[in-house]
A and B are shown apart, each in its own frame.
Chain A
């Protein structure tokens, strides 16, 4: 394939990854921003979202629903279910640890295995597909200045699908909604107040414990939503959370822990570079570079590439 179309294809693929990553990582970032804890089980909530999407569509298909209706139901129900599970985990585990950062990491590692293995027991070890609500192959044109001037043609292999475009659009819309929610709504205000000063928020009568449970649930729901969006492209599998967790760590750290805008920018960079670096290097090398970059960013620029130094 020629270089130009190849690059375009890599960027399209990168954009899909970036969209999913941005959603997922903003959940991780939200939790860290408000609660100052790192949720290592975040990848499992992503996996749970995908698995729940399969469960819901499977159940509704049994009732005779169409692919589109089933998918919409899954997109609503799966994040809600996951949100409830996460909020319950917050109340039963994290709250008792008093949100001590290190103990929370250890406990969420435990939670990671519990969720993953419970899924293995209930759902099984297979990768299962969910039918996309729509999925047309769209061949893309490419432009070129040739001997006959400006030409348009359809290069071999340059294509995407309508569903992949939908994922990108959906993620953009959802992220805007999240931003509006955080800045304009009262609930968002309460969350930000809690983030800035927990004790002061308590003094002003904000039910901090409830806020924490909701934030933890909302963070998980964002991951689950990312899982629902990706599952028609990939499939739901009980081990899918691992790589996704690592990638969202990378994104959140490069974007600056707790910064939503930084997270989105970093997701675009990481998603795009994953697509584009793999044009030039092998994927394993690309991952080595990314993980080492994250480690070095944390060592030499702990506020992240886009973060502002606090205090």
Chain B
């Protein structure tokens, strides 16, 4: 086991003998309690680099967790095939965090102290990120989240928590607002989950729409555990031009279906965040009415006609068919708009470790600093979603956003907003904080 970096803060009792005894105990303890692979670890420089992956395998985030894992495994296979990181192979150490903040914090401890991971990575749901991030800071463990929450860029977290592989809701909304007011209509009603991720939408949409010359006429919050939705729809004002919806959780299909049943033939324009239908087949019964509506996509689900080769390579590696479902099971639809973030984040970890000359867990701080100085990330095999710009001060990346239209049960991209149009002023400077 590797010693954790020496403490800089005052300990109530500094365990001086602990280091020595711990090594003894660890040797004995590790053999008995550690998973098999861990018994082979040694200080050799050829030992694999371990990436702790907090997977939402159970709880409300489960559909995402499955695809996050597949994407990460595919990305690491590619990285390993290309020689690993600094010539060392890379391993994924997966632990279920139950989509639960307390468990996620414990999982980070496990990564840092037991399975000896170099970094932690992969959390999506924002309450899990918020619950786990303080532990990452205390453990001095670089924590790469793939969450799209605004929590990182808002300055709420700490220097060890970064989001370099996926854009945040605030920038997504500022990219969508001009399209909504310009193409669909000025009066917008928003429907969002009554939960933190929904608040990012609630707080940022109205200013963005007003800046684009429109108006949010109603905001309808729905609890994330709700299972029936029709009773909420009458709150939609009659003069609404556009419905803006973003839902999350297991009941998303019901939500969209009941919205269709409510409006029948006389619907307003509808614009949704694909979160409302991630991992859901667009040809499911009841979704016919979505034809002609629009969606934000973080990354196109369906293979577009003009897709470059590196996008095809990415999709093949992950195992996606042209409808964005699993090649082995066409009814197993991916979370395409989010999971690319895992792929890109792992490539950024690789780039960061190589720039920092990363050797061991003692170099974790160097890794964070190396990522903080990154800026442009050109579209390509490492960044299939598109060209991005990382802001080291806010630890947040900005990237292109896609607007797609449902046509014949498929999503076709109608507009791509480049990263330049999604940038907003900094709200924090993490680089001025101590480690």
Contacts and interface: CB of A to CB of B under 8 A. Distances in A.
A30 to B, nearest CB: 24
A54 to B, nearest CB: 12
Interface in A213-243: 233-235, 237, 239-240, 243
Nearest to A6: B234
B87 interface: no
Contacts of B222: 283
B264 A10 contact: no
Given A13-B228, A157-B263, A234-B227, A125 B285 contact: no
A132 to B, nearest CB: 8
A137 B264 contact: yes
B262 A159 contact: yes
A286 to B, nearest CB: 10
B232 interface: yes
A13 B254 contact: no
Interface string A96-126: 0000000000000000000000001000111
Interface in B321-363: none
Contacts, number: 88
A279 B235 CA distance: 8
Contacts of B226: 283
Interface in B355-384: none
A234 B57 CA distance: 22
A268 to B, nearest CB: 16
Contact of A278 (B231, B252, B279): B231
A299 interface: no
A233 B62 CA distance: 22
Contact of A161 (B236, B253, B261): B261
Contacts of B63: 125-126
B234 to A, nearest CB: 4
The residue among B58, B63, B194, B234 with the most chain A CB atoms within 10 A of its own CB is B234
B230 A125 contact: no
Contacts of B227: 234, 240, 243
B231 A9 contact: yes
A85 B284 CA distance: 31
B221 interface: yes
Contacts of B66: 125
A77 B284 CA distance: 25
Interface residues of A, number: 37
Contact of A131 (B62, B279, B285): B285
A255 interface: no
Contacts of B194: 282, 284
Identify the interface centre among A9, A159, A235, A278: most chain B CB within 10 Å of its CB.
Answer: A235
A19 to B, nearest CB: 12
Interface string B273-289: 00000010000111000
A126 B254 contact: no
A234 B227 CA distance: 7
Nearest to B286: A135
B231 A239 contact: no
A239 B60 contact: yes
A279 B231 CA distance: 8
Contacts of A16: 228
B251 A13 contact: no
B238 interface: yes
A124 B231 CA distance: 29
Interface in B223-266: 223, 225-228, 230-236, 238, 250-254, 261-264, 266
A302 interface: no
Interface in A271-309: 275, 278-279, 282-284
Contacts of B228: 13, 16-17, 233-234
A200 B434 CA distance: 77
A127 interface: yes
Contacts of A161: 261
Contacts of B230: 9, 13
A260 to B, nearest CB: 25
Given A13-B231, A283-B222, A157 B251 contact: no
B254 A234 contact: yes
B283 to A, nearest CB: 11
B284 A284 contact: no
Contacts of A275: 231
A188 interface: no
A174 interface: no
A137 B262 CA distance: 8
B261 A159 contact: yes
A284 B58 CA distance: 24
Given A13-B231, A234-B228, A159 B279 contact: no
Nearest to B221: A282
A278 B227 CA distance: 14
Given A6-B234, A10-B234, A275-B231, A137 B261 contact: yes
B238 A156 contact: yes
Nearest to A8: B234
Contacts of A125: 57-59, 62-63, 65-66
Contacts of A135: 285-286
Nearest to B263: A157
A156 B254 CA distance: 20
A6 B263 CA distance: 14
A135 B285 CA distance: 10
A233 B254 contact: yes
Contacts of B65: 125
A76 to B, nearest CB: 22
A293 to B, nearest CB: 19
Contacts of B57: 125
18 contacts: A9-B231, A10-B234, A13-B231, A120-B58, A129-B253, A131-B285, A132-B285, A135-B285, A135-B286, A137-B264, A156-B266, A233-B228, A235-B250, A235-B253, A237-B251, A239-B59, A243-B225, A278-B232
Given A129-B284, A282-B194, 14 more contacts: A1-B238, A9-B234, A13-B228, A125-B62, A126-B279, A135-B285, A137-B261, A234-B251, A235-B254, A237-B251, A239-B59, A278-B232, A279-B231, A283-B226
Cβ-closest 9 pairs across A and B:
A125-B62, A127-B250, A1-B234, A6-B234, A237-B250, A13-B231, A234-B227, A234-B254, A13-B230
